[in-house]
Structure 1
Amino acid sequence: MPISFYDISVGQYLRGLKVVSHLLEVAKAHAAAKNIPLDDLVEWRLIDDMNPFSFQVQYVCVVAETFLKNVAHLEVPEREGNEKTFAELEALVVSTSELLDGIDRASIEGQEEKIASQPETFNKWGQFTGFENLFGSSLPNFYFHLVTAYDILRAKGVEVAKRDYLRPHFADFVKN
């Protein structure tokens, strides 16, 4: 069975956003159980010189949205990326998921061999097709920040495990 460009891009982003949504639910329950102010979580970091949890969640969303803009050449609403509260992060994940869920497959299919738009700073490396952009930059960045968000929660004592990361990925493929 052939795999579509939509499935390996938008499909992956949607599953990853389900992971983020689940991690936010678990983190919220942890904060309530431990009497931690919910908005304290947004500033949690692995180490001092790394970006906080809020940035990791924001960037997961930015990467997915940027793919739509650069590779599929779709209009994507501009965001400021200044979510400061836990509730704002939750809303961001929901709005990004809704945006991706509303994308027509036809607008993604066929973009894999077309030249992707890119920020001026990337021009020093040349031009990239949609496929090269997806696998050379977009998905690696998406998963880096997704896993970093998971790692921050885990390091701070939130009871998340491998299943919390994997289950949303494979749930779409389980027949029962």
Structure 2
Amino acid sequence: MSVSSIASAVEIFTTRLSTLEHLLKTGATHFPGDGDAYLAKRLAVDMHPLGTQVAFTCNQPRNFSLWLNGAPTIDLDPHVESLATALRYIEETKDLLRAVTADDAALSTQKRLELGAGLYADLTGHQYLHDFLMPNFYFHLVTAYAILRMSGVQIGKRDYMVHLIPHVTRSAT
């Protein structure tokens, strides 16, 4: 996926975070009486649970916003055990996106991506966005969707593509 501007990246991140919010709220209605236990569900034993997938999904646009605003990138606590925390993470991330004031020239600047264990990658802003943030963002968003589906939540492509609803019209024929 190629994103042509900071504004388009902000729009994509924001609308897909709204999708994540919709999916989580739909999931919550599927598990009445279960409290927030569904946030501990996972696709496989060696994969992170749904709550962590929410934090990791939010970390991508969060760190993009922080980087563009000249602040250090800081990941969210991955131990998300309540719907209230998950929804707060989403809203706080949207707030950070709304606060972005950088222009597209920032995408030509360098970003050092710390990978842990002493490893790093020096990337342009374009590479950081296209080759790291967007793939990770969609990976964790789709994983959250898949966990909910696997858990029996009645969601489908329509729920995942909810960002298209403002553009849908009924044909006159």
The two structures have a TM-score, normalised by structure 1, of 0.83
Q: Larger % of helix: which?
A: 1
- CA deviation map 1:79-110 (0-9, x unaligned): 43433212111111111112212322xx1421
CA shift at 1:120, angstroms? Answer: 5.7
Query: 1:116 touches 1:129 (CA, 8 Å); kept in 2?
Result: yes
| 1:131 partner SS | helix
Amino acid aligned to 1:29: T
Query: 1:115 touches 1:127 (CA, 8 Å); kept in 2?
Result: yes
Alpha-carbon separation, structure 1, partners of 2:114 and 2:6: 23
When residues 153 and 68 of structure 1 are mapped into structure 2, their CA distance, relative to the original with a 3 A threshold, is same
| 1:127 partner SS | strand
Pairing partner for 2:159 from 126, 142, 164: 164
- CA deviation map 1:18-72 (0-9, x unaligned): 111110111111112xx4x1211110011111100001000011111112234x2
Percent of residue pairs identical: 27
Pairing partner for 1:153 from 130, 148, 152: 148
Query: 2:55 touches 2:78 (CA, 8 Å); kept in 1?
Result: yes
Amino acid aligned to 1:149: A
Q: Which runs of 4+ in 1 moved over 6 A?
A: none
CA shift at 1:175, angstroms? Answer: 8.0
When residues 116 and 123 of structure 1 are mapped into structure 2, their CA distance, relative to the original with a 3 A threshold, is farther
Pairing partner for 2:105 from 105, 110, 114: 110
Query: 1:116 touches 1:128 (CA, 8 Å); kept in 2?
Result: yes
Q: Any unmatched runs of 5+ in structure 1?
A: none
- CA deviation map 1:89-139 (0-9, x unaligned): 1111111112212322xx142112111132164985642101111111110
1:142 aligns with 2:119: no
When residues 55 and 113 of structure 1 are mapped into structure 2, their CA distance, relative to the original with a 3 A threshold, is same
Alpha-carbon separation, structure 1, partners of 2:106 and 2:117: 19
Match of 1:88 in 2: 85
CA shift at 1:165, angstroms? Answer: 0.5
Question: Aligned-pair RMSD on alpha carbons?
Answer: 2.5
Query: 1:58 touches 1:89 (CA, 8 Å); kept in 2?
Result: yes
Amino acid aligned to 1:75: A
1:58 aligns with 2:65: no
Give the number of aligned pairs: 167
Amino acid aligned to 1:116: K
Match of 2:5 in 1: 5
Q: Larger % of strand: which?
A: 2
Query: 2:112 touches 2:121 (CA, 8 Å); kept in 1?
Result: no
Query: 1:115 touches 1:128 (CA, 8 Å); kept in 2?
Result: yes
Query: 2:80 touches 2:86 (CA, 8 Å); kept in 1?
Result: yes
Q: Any unmatched runs of 5+ in structure 2?
A: none
Amino acid aligned to 1:87: A
The two structures have a TM-score, normalised by structure 2, of 0.84
